[in-house]
Structure 1
Amino acid sequence: MQITNTILMVRPVNFRMNEQTAVNNYFQEDLDLKNQEINVKAQQEFDAFVLVLREKGVNVVVVDDKKDLDTPDSIFPNNWVSFHADGTVGLYPMFAENRRNERREDILALLEQRGFVIENVMDYTSAEEEGYFLEGTGSVVLDRVNEKAYCALSDRADEDLFIEFCEDFEFTPIVFTANQSVAGTRKPIYHTNVMMCLAETFAVICLDSIDDKKEKKNVVNHLKQDGKEIIAISEQQMHHFAGNMLQVLGMGEKRYLAMSTAAYLSLKPQQIEKIEKHCAIIHSPLDTIETCGGGSARCMMAEVFLPKK
């Protein structure tokens, strides 16, 4: 299965602009608000988004963040954990020190209480001590059906670690560099899932960000080989998080592409038409989360593929 009906989401209690991630996340901006106000706005956006998903029949498991952890980015759990259909859980090494506290055993225990089966944990977190990182399904975009993994290299996505992950999980690695223009220079995009979204029958991708022609051709060839319709977005649309989307399964096996309202509004009518040939679109405003957190709808959802008892 490429998509799932069950999503894990973490409700923020200390959300703010994370100064430790801002060094290489060029999507983050400062809002001239007190942190407490920012957190309240983020909670409102979070709750509204959860409601949109649940109304469509998506099974959303909401866990509250813990106040004492000081984890401003806990709202993005897909970076520290991934859940796989064979009962394996992946735990990942995080670039920002204050994000390492987001990894919580009690969340895994909660899923087990809910009847999900965890057979095995692949723990890559010791790489942090060596200064190597791979931030879960932020750094790695998975084609679970065709057993391929796409990774745009950056400070948060180490090539050797990515190859190790692919060997462990039996994915074919597709490696490239994706850049964005920052003050006139090309700099690596911090996460692959900001510039590409892989759904069952299509891919939304910012091909303009892959500067190397050979790498771009390789990515396009793999997507075409697997029968994916390629829906290209511009760099400007990517900055509105049009690459940060996730296809989910709702009631009666209905497919939805979930995204932020900003991402939706950045799309052109013909792009929307192309997506809607494959599935319906759902969106919710995530402006505060996007501005301060530098992440959007996809980052907020950790897909649960674990088997059930």
Structure 2
Amino acid sequence: MTNQITSHILMVRPTNFGFNPETAENNFYQQKDDRNADEVNTIAQREFDAFVSSLQQKGVDVLVVDDTSSPKKTDAIFPNNWFSTHQDGKLVLYPMFSPNRRLERRKDIIEILINKGFKISEIIDLTFFEQDGQFLEGTGSLILDRINKVAYACRSQRTHSTPLGYFGKLMGFEIVDFDATQVINGAASPIYHTNVMMHVGSEIAVVCLDSIPLASEKLKVQEYLEKTGKKMIPITSKQKFQFAGNMLEIQNIKGEKFTVMSDSAFHSLGEVQINTIKRYTEILVPKIPTIEKIGGGSVRCMMAEIFLPLM
């Protein structure tokens, strides 16, 4: 049986967390900070450790891997962009927009998974698309409905149609792609990652339909969510800017379900939205303000789900 959620999570503890000017080109959620690099990294580590601890206290299996100090990788804390794992034993490596983020791909992390008893039957390497300037950044670009084999993706400078179609054919997913925009300094700009505006859990789907300008594409997304039985929870553009789309549903080893969202995301939601999510899962709310502000990513980006079978 295919599962939508897992109790096994891999997270990378930062060593050189900081502002990345390469990714800031199209990630408008990143903000520079006056604090020095060591201070920022120390605060990020503190937020990371508290987040991991909150997951472990709920019985989630978290595999923490330390980032290597060299080469310097400011975004290593967001491992979901460079790989994804699947229940049939496949591990997919993805082409990434920022050259300095490609350094995050580590063979030793794959070896750590194997040493922990996870079975990898095949590695599908899509990184060759980088040579053509085409990108698909893992579960940042792809919102996977694993049970119904549907991949939602908003096209952007980090999510191109050719690697998207390639993923769909190789992995047996139907692609539902669309344009999604947000207003930055008075002008419409593409949303760089789909997981900023959309989350699909086992029974719910949180989605910022307001960010899909084309009525036909908006309708297509709605129809797919409805026909796959998801309870839709719309969020506003304002809530999306507070990372309300950047959630992840996970479970613990007893099978109890949790929707993880950051403190800023939680406080942006209304009572009806919160109560709807609570009908299906418990809500976990880690505080990661420094990671969100400087890294421009939230809790979902920090968790790489491990769906691989155990040996």
TM norm. shorter chain > 0.5: yes
| Aligned residues of 2:154 and 2:180 also touching (Cα < 8 A) | yes
1:50 maps to 52
Task: Give the CA deviation at 1:251.
Answer: 4.0
Which residues in structure 2 correspond to 1:187-266 (within 5 Å)? 187-266=189-268
Is this contact kept in 1: 2:93–2:124, CA < 8 A?
yes
Aligned amino acid, residue 107 of structure 1: I
Q: Amino acid of the residue matched to residue 169 of structure 1? A: M
Post-superposition offset of 1:106: 0.2
Question: Which amino acid is 1:36 matched to?
Answer: D
- The answer for the alignment partner of 2:310 in structure 1 is 308
Alpha-carbon distance in structure 2 between the residues aligned to 1:251 and 1:146: 23
**Pairs within 5 Å for 1:50-199:** 50-199=52-201
Amino acid at match of 1:223: L
Contact 2:61 2:253 in 1 (8 A): no
Secondary structure of 1:211's match? coil
Cα deviation 1:129-179 (Å, max 9, x = unaligned) = 111100001000000000000000000000111011000000000010111
SS of 2:47's equivalent in the other structure is helix
Is the contact made by 1:56 and 1:251 (CA closer than 8 Å) also made in structure 2? no
CA contact (8 A) 2:151 2:175 kept: yes
CA distance in 2, matches of 1:107, 1:22: 26
Which among 18, 41, 47 is matched to residue 16 of structure 1?
18
Q: What SS class does the counterpart of residue 4 from structure 1 fall into?
A: coil
RMSD after superposition: 0.6
- Give the drift of 1:250: 1.4
- Segments of 4+ moved more than 3 angstroms: none
SS at match of 1:108: helix
Q: Give unmatched runs, 5+ long, in structure 2.
A: none
Whole-angstrom distance in 1 between the partners of 2:47 and 2:213: 34
Q: What one-letter code is carried by the residue in structure 2 that aligns with 1:109?
A: E
Equivalent position SS for 2:49: helix
> In the aligned structure 1, how far is the partner of 2:302 from the partner of 2:292?
11
**1: CA distance between counterparts of 2:194 and 2:185?**
21
Question: What is the count of residue pairs matched by the alignment?
Answer: 309
The code of the aligned residue for 1:306 comes to L
Q: Give distance in 1, aligned partners of 2:108 and 2:256.
A: 31
State the 1:238 CA deviation.
Answer: 0.6
Q: Report SS of the residue matched to 1:248.
A: strand
CA distance in 2, matches of 1:234, 1:30: 25
Matched, 1:29 2:31: yes
Percent identical residues:
47
TM-score if structure 1 supplies the norm length? 0.99
Deviations 1:61-110 (A, max 9, x none): 00000111111000000000001000000000110010000000000000
Give the one of 271, 274, 297 matched to 2:273: 271
Partners of 2:100 and 2:170 lie apart in 1 by 27
Kindly provide the amino acid, as one letter, of the partner of residue 244 in structure 2. Answer: A
Aligned residues of 1:16 and 1:292 also touching (Cα < 8 A): yes
Instruction: State the shift of 1:259 in Å.
Output: 1.0
Equivalent residues of 1:2, 1:145 under 8 A apart? yes
The answer to whether the Cα contact below 8 Å between 1:240 and 1:263 also exists between their aligned partners in 2 is yes
Aligned partners of 1:79 and 1:92 also within 8 Å: yes
Q: What CA distance in whole angstroms lies between the structure 1 residues aligned with 2:293 and 2:101?
A: 18
For 1:32 and 1:197, the matched residues in 2 are separated by: 32
- Deviation, 1:32, is 1.5
